[in-house]
């Protein structure tokens, strides 16, 4: 189990509203909310945008709105290797002077002609520091309530993602990824202080599980967990749940939005990571010598 080395930091979640079919308009809205988040006092260290905000959240839109995203480490000098949203996100990070998790956008990988739901993160100089392709695609069918099949147009990613910032190591997932506890467990054991998921739950599964899943991932792993949603748009075909949230390692909800546009701030007390682990030492009491390899022999 890697030791967590982190210092206190301030997180800002942008529950972006008002987006629609015009990509350039969506980008301008994101620019405004990120600038607003950055202008608060105290200034946040890390700003977060939600899942698929530059495009409607619809399997029929992902290809049309998709963009190329370069490899991690890119500073944007090869401008042909990236689309307008990525360029804008770099500028938002630079102008804000903050670290930025730029939510997710549809990514096209030209050599395989595949589309991914991809989250990116930037340092305050606009360098791409992480790229997470949603691993678990959101394919569900709750008759009469919620049907969605991301795999109709998306390909799942095949790697886990973390990045190092001066305030600590951060794990990155996207929305449905939160339902798979292994991902957060691996991030925690690699020393992440927080697991952050740009997300867009809906009005059926949101009330069922949104809060429970974040509290569960936080308590299981004794880390901070946060999901950042878009605001609900009554005119959209997909009704996002909203309720962006930050949960601490004890499982307490620190902040929660309603369904409207909002910026939420949370002060991440990294001392609480150590105190929680000292008082409830489950991280060092695990019995890996007893558990079977759950990937084998079970349905
Ligand atoms: O897991 C859920 O209930 C919702 C997931 C979702 O909306 C997504 O992955 O985009």
Quick one: what percent of the chain has pLDDT higher than 70?
99
Ligand 1, atom 4: closest residue by C-alpha: 201
Is residue 27 in a domain? Answer: yes
Domain that holds residue 50: 9-283
Quickly state the pLDDT bin for 78 (edges 50, 70, 90).
confident
Is residue 103 in a domain? Answer: yes
Is residue 63 in a domain? Answer: yes
pLDDT reading at 161 higher than 90: yes
Q: Mean pLDDT, to the nearest integer, of 86-92?
A: 98
Q: What is the dihedral of CA 122, 196, 173, 213, to 10 degrees?
A: -170
Cα–Cα distance measured from residue 86 to residue 102, given in angstroms and rounded to the nearest whole number: 8
Q: Mean pLDDT, to the nearest integer, of 192-201?
A: 98
Give the atom of ligand 1 at the shortest distance from the alpha carbon of 208: 3
**pLDDT for res 266:** 98
Q: Output the six-digit token pair for 22.
A: 């015009």
pLDDT reading at 136 higher than 80: yes
Catalytic residue among 51, 82, 150, 261: 51
Output the ligand 1 site: residues, CB below 6 A.
51, 138, 175-176, 179, 200-202, 205, 209
pLDDT reading at 1 higher than 90: no
Is residue 289 in a domain? Answer: no
Residue with tokens 């290797």: 81
Query: Cα–Cα–Cα angle for 79, 21, 207, nearest 5°?
Result: 110
| pLDDT, tens only, 40-50 | 999 999 999 99
**pLDDT for res 299:** 61
Question: How far is the centre of ligand 1, averaged over its atoms, from the C-alpha of 133 (Å)?
Answer: 15
Q: Report the DSSP pairing between strands 139-142 and 9-15.
A: unpaired
Quick one: what percent of the chain has pLDDT higher than 90?
89
pLDDT reading at 125 higher than 90: yes
Whether the ω angle into residue 295 lies within 30 degrees of 0, i.e. cis, is: no
Quick check: is 175 catalytic? yes
Quickly state the pLDDT bin for 130 (edges 50, 70, 90).
very high
- This prediction has a pTM of 0.97
Quickly state the pLDDT bin for 6 (edges 50, 70, 90).
confident
Report the CATH number at residue 128: 3.60.110.10
Question: How far is the centre of ligand 1, averaged over its atoms, from the C-alpha of 28 (Å)?
Answer: 26
Quickly state the pLDDT bin for 237 (edges 50, 70, 90).
confident
Is residue 128 in a domain? Answer: yes
Question: How far is the centre of ligand 1, averaged over its atoms, from the C-alpha of 233 (Å)?
Answer: 17
Is residue 288 in a domain? Answer: no
Q: Mean pLDDT, to the nearest integer, of 238-263?
A: 98
Helix axis angle, 205-221 to 181-189, nearest 10°: 30
Is residue 3 in a domain? Answer: no
Number of domains the chain contains: 1
Radius of gyration over every alpha carbon of the chain, rounded to an integer in angstroms: 18
**pLDDT for res 148:** 87
Backbone dihedral angles phi then psi of residue 170, each to the nearest 5 degrees:
-120, 135
Better pLDDT: 53 or 1: 53
Question: Distance from CA of residue 248 to its chain's centroid?
Answer: 16
Catalytic residue among 23, 131, 134, 169: 134
Interface predicted TM-score (ipTM) of this complex, two decimals: 0.98
Is residue 291 in a domain? Answer: no
Cross-strand partners of 114: 109
pLDDT reading at 154 higher than 80: yes
Question: Which residues in 197-231 are b (16+ Cβ under 10 Å) and which e?
Answer: bbbbbbebbbeeebbebbbbbbbebbbbbbbbbbb
């Amino acid at each position: 189990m890697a030791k967590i080395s982190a210092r206190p930091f301030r997180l800002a979640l942008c529950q972006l509203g008002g987006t629609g079919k015009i990509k350039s308009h969506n980008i301008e809205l994101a620019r405004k909310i990120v600038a607003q988040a950055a202008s608060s006092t105290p200034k946040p260290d890390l700003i977060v945008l939600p899942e698929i905000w530059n495009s409607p959240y619809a399997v029929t839109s992902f290809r049309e709105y998709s963009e190329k995203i370069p490899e991690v480490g890119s500073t944007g000098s090869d401008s042909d290797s990236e689309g307008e949203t990525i360029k804008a996100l770099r500028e938002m990070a630079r102008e804000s002077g903050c670290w930025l998790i730029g939510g997710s956008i549809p990514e096209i990988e030209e050599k395989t002609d595949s589309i991914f739901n991809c989250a990116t993160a930037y340092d305050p100089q606009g360098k791409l520091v992480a790229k997470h392709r949603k691993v678990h695609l959101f394919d569900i069918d709750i008759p009469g309530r919620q049907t969605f099949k991301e795999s109709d147009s998306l390909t799942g990613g095949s790697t886990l993602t973390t990045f190092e910032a001066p305030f600590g190591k951060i794990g990155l997932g996207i929305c449905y990824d939160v339902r798979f506890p292994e991902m957060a467990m691996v991030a925690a054991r690699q020393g992440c202080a927080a697991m952050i998921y740009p997300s867009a739950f809906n009005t059926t599964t949101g009330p069922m599980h949104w809060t429970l899943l974040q509290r569960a991932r936080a308590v299981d792993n004794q880390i901070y967990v946060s999901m950042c949603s878009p605001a609900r748009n009554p005119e959209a075909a997909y009704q996002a749940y909203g309720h962006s949230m930050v949960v601490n390692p004890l499982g307490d909800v620190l902040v929660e939005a309603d369904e409207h546009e909002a910026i939420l701030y949370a002060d991440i007390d990294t001392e609480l990571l150590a105190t929680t682990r000292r008082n409830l030492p489950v991280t060092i009491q695990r019995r890996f010598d007893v558990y079977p390899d759950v990937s084998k022999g079970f349905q």
